[in-house]
Chains A and B, each alone.
Chain A
Amino acid sequence: MSSRVTPSSRNSSLRGIAAATVVALIVVACGSDDDSATTESTGIPTADSVTLVTYDSFPEADTSLNDALDSFTADTGIDVEILSAGDTGTMLAKASLTAGNPEGDVMWGIDNTLLSRAIADDVFEPYIAGPIADGSVEIAPEFLDLVPNGEATPVDYGDVCVNYDIEWYAERGLDPPSSFADLVDPAYAGQLVVQNPATSSPGLVFLLATIHEYGVEGWQNYWSQLGANGVEVVDSWTQAYYERFTWAGGGPTPMVVSYGSSPPAEVIFADPPRDDAPTGVIEDTCFRQVEFAGVLRGTDAPDAARQLVDFLVSDEFQRELPLNLFVYPTNQAVDLPQQFVDFAVVPDTPRSLDPAVIDAERSTWIDEWTELVLG
């Protein structure tokens, strides 16, 4: 049997085991040592660096938006790390699970449909940007009404609307749809990609738009029809727009839930250049979305985090929003770029729902939607 094995004998094995016991005790059992509390995922715990947690369509480098952040670093000595955390629903779910010990210091992009959940989960340390509080930056009062207790700072707004590929419809001699009702018409079967409202904020906003149109009793029936008409569901806006949409992603689907301000982007980044918008907006489907930036509770660098939020509403940063994130700045002093004025669609009366109703019903609606559409 095994008695003939020649082991690599070690005389110091007892001492080794004793040492190992100590190590095991320190490493495995104990834990309230220096690693536990301060270090964060970026590994840079000093106040000279803040991590901006944001959705995955926020550029991490190489754009004028990032240049603006660089100038913030030059002025204040505070480095800004950008941490991309999926679409807004996913980002908020992570933020809720890490509330108090956040993945970063400032969060950009929680919108009016999810804000109440972020507040309920204690994600933010209440903070309204200083320049707004002292009146040096003016924003519309309706945005400030959304944060009566100063929970977070309204930084941009826009309208979530169904976009379509103008050429795709022209080639087929088909008129693009113009209303929610058209979207369930068999003529448009398999032509729409939407985002999962559980993971994506435009997805949730689009669900709310249908609830606004068909009412709390009627939307389920509408979605059954959309499902029967072959609606495609993906997890995030970037995936829907840049991977599935015929125009921007070379995908198979000519309609996508995106923004009223997406068409100017397609003009600005068109290669070769063009002077008309290749994508259109179904105005009837537009629902107003307001996005917020907040200081994450539990940040190691609260002062630097607040300084960054102050910068996020400054003219210098806000004027970069239209052409980089395709949203409107909340800072009223900022002029819009010409292409934006020419090609963005601003509905006369964007849809909206009472925030209290959204707050009360959101999780029920998302659950119902999941059962209905994803089975």
Chain B
Amino acid sequence: MNRLPRWLLVALAIGPVTGLAIFYAWPFVTLLAEAVTATAITDTLSRRSTWEIVWFTVWQAVVSTVATIVVGLAPAYVLARFDFRGRTVLVGLLTAMFVLPTVVMGAAFLALLPDSIDRTVWAVIGAHVVFNLAVVVRVVGSLWEHLPTDMEAAAATLGASRWKVATQISMPLVRPAVTAAATIVFLFTFTSYGVIRILGAPGTRTIEVEVWRRATQLGDVGGAAVLALLQLAALVAIVSWSTVAQRRHARAIGLLATSARRRPRTSGEYRFVALIAGAALLVVAAPLAALVLRSFSTPTGWSTTAWTDLGESEIRPGIRLGIDPVEAVVNSLTNAAWATAFAVIVGALASLAIVAAGRAGRALDGGLMLPLATSAVTIGFGMLITFDTAPFDWRASWWLVPVGHALIAVPFVVRTCVGVLRSVDPALVGAAETLGASPVRAWRATVVPYLWRPLAVGAALAASISLGEFGATSFLSRSGGETMPIAIEQLLGRTGSVLQAQGFVLATLLAAATVVLVVIVERLQSPLAGRAGR
């Protein structure tokens, strides 16, 4: 497929490349330049709080990761090994939790926990665990599901207890998957931002939160830049280490082509499955239920006031705090529409270019993935301090927030599309050419038509990412242009019960919108996924 004329490849790639250069590379360079001043570095590194924040960031991530693995292994096992009614629903629910916007997860835990612990690190860790359960269930579960059961059966036959089988046979076999899941969870919790902005006390700060605080509250741009780079360096180190470690520990296991799932047989198995599945369901459903309930809760009892009077955020005659929940919904929808359009256009062009262009295509692919590896906070912060001088002063432009969202969404569009495009049978192109079509015509008739369906999936993903995006938006949105996640954080930061209830209303709406989009993605994707043989 590498026979497309060069002009076409250039035409396809130039948009994505330019966009990446302007909105990712340039802000990144600005950030570096901002941080590399001697005073910013020495000030930051000599500040005691810097190291306390680093320490907090690390330990809460470690504790969250360990807790997630511990809590997640049993459901991962049950969901991988047993068939039971409601299994699909439970997997779906767990996955839905994983894709919920961070502020919604924070809000759900705020709603669930009693006041005495809802702004502590334990609330944060609890939210991290529920958030990331799906990672363990999916990553470890997918291995467990295809792991031959004969070794376990043999051990049991030889008289090993259930516990012994689990610890001595099963665990060593799934360890690579556990390590992989732990790495993913650690990365997510290490860069946690939205959950902590909602659930953390003022003193509970990860590096990510401190970048935001220094830049937007204290006006210490240099110090914030140093911290952003410090975090990026840590991320690179962790990812490199885990890549090496996984390669070293890789081992060959004969996996089954089909699933090893079966219905529980003994009454003990039934009870075990029911207990674990029930507990998992409770852990996932309780925060969501609490979220919805709290949106109906007022000091005088149950009421739909917060829903019906969503536009009334007055706390005193005339004093509205500048938060308008209804306007936030409108802003979010507008931003999401544009972000989706940008992400789909750029993602489509990039995917076609990546598939058609060989090595250069792989470079473009890698480049477009970079924003995903960079934290959203870093992206938003970089854009804010880059586009502030004429003629590139774009801080007030309506499209800056959607472009930031698109930057984060493009990797998802590309991943969805490239896989499908790569699976197009090259024989089709050959056949078209044999029948006399020019290379461009053959490409157009055979490859391009496959783009539309994955693009629809990508569009739904992009929309859900934009709706829930909080990190970059917390830097880029201007007063009056607040999106739903920003408004949720502001409303829940207040103690007035009406404002809190309104925050929960917005969080409920956002959760519902996300779930709908995820369902659309699954619907669009499932027949396709089946066809691609995954």
A contacts, CB < 8 Å to B: 1-5, 7-10, 13-14, 17-18, 20-21, 23-25, 27-29, 31-32, 35-37, 39-42, 53, 56-63, 65-66, 83-86, 89-90, 92-94, 96-98, 100-101, 103, 117, 121, 196, 198-199, 233-235, 238-239, 242-244, 249, 251, 363, 366-367, 370-371, 374-375
Contacts and interface: CB of A to CB of B under 8 A. Distances in A.
B394 interface: yes
Given A13-B449, A59-B319, A63-B317, A35 B531 contact: no
Given A24-B16, A37-B393, 19 more contacts: A9-B449, A10-B448, A17-B11, A17-B352, A25-B18, A32-B391, A37-B391, A84-B320, A85-B479, A86-B322, A93-B217, A103-B478, A103-B480, A234-B495, A242-B316, A242-B319, A363-B220, A367-B47, A371-B49
Contacts of A234: 495
A21 B349 contact: yes
B321 interface: yes
B15 A7 contact: no
A86 B490 CA distance: 10
A83 B322 contact: yes
A269 to B, nearest CB: 8
Interface in B493-534: 493-496, 528, 531-533
Given A2-B425, A7-B450, A84-B320, A243 B496 contact: yes
Contacts of B423: 1-2
Contacts of B479: 41, 53, 83-85, 94, 103
Contacts of B348: 17, 20
Nearest to A31: B394
B52 interface: yes
A66 B317 CA distance: 11
A171 B322 CA distance: 37
B397 A39 contact: yes
A10 B396 CA distance: 39
Interface of B: 11-12, 14-16, 18-19, 22-23, 47-49, 52, 201-203, 213, 215-220, 315-322, 342, 345-346, 348-349, 352, 384-385, 388-399, 403, 406, 420, 423-425, 427-428, 440, 444-445, 448-450, 452-453, 478-481, 493-496, 528, 531-533
B424 A9 contact: no
B396 A39 contact: yes
A239 B510 CA distance: 25
A81 B533 CA distance: 58
Contacts of B18: 25, 28-29
A273 to B, nearest CB: 16
Report, nearest first, the 3 A-B pairs whose CB atoms are least far apart: A84-B322, A59-B318, A7-B449
11 contacts: A7-B452, A9-B445, A35-B398, A36-B394, A37-B390, A41-B396, A59-B318, A85-B479, A100-B390, A234-B495, A374-B202
Nearest to B440: A14
Contacts of B47: 367
B498 to A, nearest CB: 11
| Residue picked from A14, A53, A233, most chain B C-beta under 10 Å | A14
Nearest to A19: B345
Contacts of B420: 2
Nearest to B10: A21
A32 B392 contact: yes
Contacts of A36: 391-394, 397
A60 B318 contact: yes
Contacts of B428: 3
B480 A198 contact: no
A238 B315 contact: yes
A23 B15 CA distance: 9
Nearest to A120: B219
Nearest to B213: A198
Contacts of A97: 215-216, 219, 384-385, 388, 395
Contacts of B322: 56, 60, 83-86
A239 B495 contact: yes
B444 A20 contact: no
B218 A243 contact: no
B395 A101 contact: yes
Contacts of A8: 449, 452
Contact of A35 (B220, B316, B399): B399
Contact of A23 (B318, B345, B394, B427): B345
A238 B495 contact: no
Contact of B345 (A24, A39, A101, A233): A24
A103 to B, nearest CB: 5
Contacts of A65: 318
B475 to A, nearest CB: 8
Contacts of A17: 11-12, 348-349, 352, 448
A244 to B, nearest CB: 6
Contact of A56 (B321, B449, B531): B321
Nearest to B444: A14
A254 B247 CA distance: 61
A243 B496 CA distance: 6
B395 A27 contact: no
B342 A40 contact: no
Contacts of A20: 345, 348-349
Given A20-B345, A66-B318, A103-B479, A244 B495 contact: yes
A35 B387 CA distance: 14
A21 B398 contact: no
Contacts of A363: 218, 220
A27 B342 contact: yes
Nearest to A240: B495
A21 B321 CA distance: 43
A261 B52 CA distance: 40
Contact of A24 (B349, B531, B532): B349
B12 A21 contact: yes
Nearest to B490: A86
B447 to A, nearest CB: 10
Contacts of B449: 7-10, 13
B319 A57 contact: yes
A93 B213 CA distance: 10
Nearest to B428: A3
Nearest to B393: A101
A366 B218 contact: yes
B394 to A, nearest CB: 5
Contact of B346 (A2, A28, A101): A28
Contact of A25 (B15, B493, B531): B15
Nearest to B56: A375
B261 to A, nearest CB: 25
A96 B219 contact: yes
A34 B429 CA distance: 43
Contacts of A13: 444, 448-449
A199 B213 CA distance: 10
Given A7-B452, A39-B397, A97-B215, A238 B478 contact: no
A2 B531 contact: yes
A177 to B, nearest CB: 24
B494 A239 contact: yes
Contact of A242 (B48, B315, B385, B397): B315
B388 A84 contact: no
Contacts of A24: 15-16, 19, 342, 345-346, 349
B493 A235 contact: yes
Nearest to B452: A8
